[in-house]
Amino acid sequence: MAKLATESRFASPDDVYQTLIDAHRDLTADQSARLNAKLILLLANHIGDAEVLTEALDLARKGVV
């Protein structure tokens, strides 16, 4: 069974964070929310494992509820 990787896997995490921030630059709140939704669906498809995706969703939800 696959397991969600939660350790940083980026050589330069700050650069990745900046790329995410830059993608939202000059977008309205609605456009930003749509960008996030599209990115989530693309990455969920890339993961391609329902158990890993469920683990990620559970972990993310615990961080906001």
22-40 in b/e burial notation, b at 16+ Cβ within 10 A? eeeeeeeeeeeeeeeeeee
pLDDT band of residue 63 (cuts 50, 70, 90) is confident
pTM of the predicted structure, to 2 decimals = 0.84
pLDDT band of residue 6 (cuts 50, 70, 90) is very high
The percent of residues above 70 in pLDDT, for the chain, comes to 100
Q: What is the pLDDT of residue 26?
A: 98
Q: Which two tokens stand for residue 19?
A: 């790329």
Domain ranges of the chain: 30-65
Nearest-angstrom CA–CA distance, 13 and 47: 20
